[in-house]
Each structure stands twice: as structure tokens, then as C-alpha cells.
Amino acid sequence: MFEESQCRFAASHEWVFVAGDVATVGISDYAQKEISDIVFVELPAVGATVAQGKACAVIESVKAAADFMAPVSGEIIAINEALADTPELVNQSPQGEGWFVKIRMTDSTELDGLMDFAAYQHTLS
């Protein structure tokens, strides 16, 4: 759904796809493989305000729990409600049906601090 070449990536393994002032975000394919079998995702409420680099969701797997960091600041305008019943969508399609939230960005210059796919891939090697 969201081509890696069209996304920006945080060092903490979240991806961002921007359309206007709305960022759709989720975790990278690399991150979902590292986390392993995801069994629960706790998302913020619609209307909540999130800050770049701060925890805004929790991902639980059969191995451990991990925080999901907001890659950009803004207001949550939509959550992926399908993850409540089928959290394994994150493993099956991390940059498709497994997206987490949509954020109306308050500061688009924060995108400048995120990596393109090539730079992100370089950090993984």
C-alpha cells in the first residue's frame, strides 16, 4: 500500500507516508520481524496530541512489549481499528493494512529529520 520509496523513516523504525498535512504511520518491515509475532497493539485515542519521538502506542508480541514512538507531532485523526481484533496485520502487512494511526501534523519541518528509504536501509547494515 505505501511504497518504501515514498516513505520517510525514524531511527526508531517507524515509517511515515505524507499526503498534504496528514501523516499515515506504522512500523517498518524490519521492526515487525524483530518484534516477532504481534499479539496486541494499544493505539492512542482519536483527538489525542502526540509529540515527535515520544511514546504514543504499545506493541506487544509473544516475546516482549515495545513502545511505538510518534515520528511526527500532531493530532491523531484516525486509528487502524482493525488492529484491535487482528494485530497480526502488522506482521502480515506492516506498510499496508498494518498501519497504526493518521496524524494531522503540526510541524512539517520535522520530516526533515527523518530518513529516506536508502538512508534507513544503511542504518540496518
**Is 125 a member of any domain?**
no
**Is 37 a member of any domain?**
yes
More confident residue, 67 or 5: 67
Q: Which cell is 68 given?
A: 511505538
Asked whether the CA dihedral 34, 31, 29, 63 is positive or negative, the reply is positive
**Is 69 a member of any domain?**
yes
- CATH number of the domain to which 62 belongs: 2.40.50.100
Selection from 23, 59, 68 nearest residue 39 by Cα: 59
Q: What is the pTM of this model?
A: 0.94
**Is 39 a member of any domain?**
yes
Confidence bin at 121 (pLDDT 50/70/90): very high
Predicted confidence (pLDDT) per residue in 47-103, tens digit: 999 999 999 999 999 988 999 999 999 999 999 999 999 999 999 999 999 999 999
**Is 10 a member of any domain?**
yes
Split into its structural domains, the chain has a count of 1
Q: Which cell is 79 given?
A: 486509528
Confidence bin at 125 (pLDDT 50/70/90): confident
Q: Which domain holds residue 96?
A: 4-107
Confidence bin at 46 (pLDDT 50/70/90): very high
**Is 118 a member of any domain?**
no
